[in-house]
């Protein structure tokens, strides 16, 4: 059974990366096809990022939570005793493929969106900004999930917290609290996917807020790994 664990984890990780691309581009295409007159062309083209974040969260969560099954972390730390160094390497191993797939997803989504929307689509300038914002936001959400998974030491617990938060809580809080919700990790980064914005955050400052949430989660995860039992 132990020999099957790495292959199962690898399959899940590849599935998460593929899910980022397929989910984001698929739902973005549907959104663009059904976009109403006068709607935000950039957000219509990149609507699928809202659901692609779920795949990114699953990828980051699986990459860390797999270490807490079957004594895998104990074996890893026997080879790399420095826990903080190991966690930094793990975060890097999550960030690099997530960013590569995220940027590819952003580019494909932009091309599909412009093809579907035609003359009503976003300009190349704002479209490229949206593509970069797409890649960065998906990467940050994967790392945010990785940090929380290290804190909770459970993939199920992490997904049980983050998926309802992204799909339900963030929208409810946003409707009730106004600008306060603009600083939540998922909503802040989403500003980069809009042609115009009314709040205090812009595209890059919104991504910076998401990056701060991610840094806090990773620092908490590193502390938990350093202090907890293997």
Whether the pTM exceeds 0.85: the reply is yes
DSSP assignment, residue 2?
T
3-class secondary structure, 40: coil
| Closest to 130 (Cα-Cα) out of 213, 216, 34, 52 | 52
Q: How far is C-alpha 196 from the geometric centre of its chain's CA atoms?
A: 22
DSSP assignment, residue 66?
G
Banded model confidence at residue 3, pLDDT cuts 50, 70, 90: very low
The number of domains in the chain is: 1
Whether 227 shows a pLDDT value over 50: the answer reads yes
Residue-wise pLDDT for 4-38, tens only, equals 555 556 777 888 899 999 999 999 999 999 888 77
Least confident range of 68-77, 112-121, 171-180, 189-198: 171-180
Banded model confidence at residue 78, pLDDT cuts 50, 70, 90: low
Q: Do 112 and 56 meet the contact criterion of CB atoms below 8 Å apart?
A: no
3-class secondary structure, 45: helix
Residues of the chain with pLDDT > 90, as a percent, come to 62
**74 CB contacts (<8 Å, ≥6 apart)?**
230
φ and ψ at residue 2, rounded to 5 degrees: -65, -35
Residue-wise pLDDT for 39-51, tens only, equals 899 999 999 999 9
Computed over every residue of the chain, the mean pLDDT equals 87
Distance CA 143, CA 216 (A): 10
Distance CA 15, CA 195 (A): 31
pLDDT attached to residue 174:
57
Banded model confidence at residue 2, pLDDT cuts 50, 70, 90: very low
Distance CA 111, CA 134 (A): 13
Distance CA 115, CA 72 (A): 46
Residue 109: domain span: 4-227
Residues of the chain with pLDDT > 70, as a percent, come to 85
pLDDT attached to residue 1:
41
Whether 132 shows a pLDDT value over 60: the answer reads yes
């Amino acid at each position: 059974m132990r020999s099957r664990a790495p292959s199962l984890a690898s399959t899940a990780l590849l599935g998460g990366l593929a899910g980022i691309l397929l989910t984001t581009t698929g739902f973005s295409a549907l959104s663009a096809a059904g976009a109403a007159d006068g709607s935000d062309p950039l957000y219509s083209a990149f609507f699928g990022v809202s659901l692609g974040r779920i795949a990114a969260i699953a990828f980051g969560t699986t990459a860390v939570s797999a270490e807490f099954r079957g004594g895998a972390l104990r074996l890893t730390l026997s080879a790399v005793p420095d826990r903080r160094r190991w966690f930094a390497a793990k975060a890097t191993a999550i960030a690099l493929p997530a960013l590569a797939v995220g940027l590819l997803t952003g580019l494909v989504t932009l091309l599909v969106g412009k093809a579907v929307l035609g003359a009503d689509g976003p300009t190349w300038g704002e479209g490229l900004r949206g593509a970069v914002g797409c890649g960065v936001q998906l990467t940050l959400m994967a790392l945010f999930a990785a940090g929380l998974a290290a804190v909770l030491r459970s993939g199920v617990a992490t997904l049980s917290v983050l998926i309802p938060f992204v799909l339900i809580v963030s929208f409810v809080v946003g409707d009730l609290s106004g600008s306060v919700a603009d600083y939540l990790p998922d909503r802040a980064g989403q500003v980069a996917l809009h042609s115009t914005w009314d709040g205090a955050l812009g595209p890059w400052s919104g991504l910076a807020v998401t990056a701060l949430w991610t840094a806090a989660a990773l620092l908490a995860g590193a502390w938990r790994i350093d202090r907890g039992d293997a």
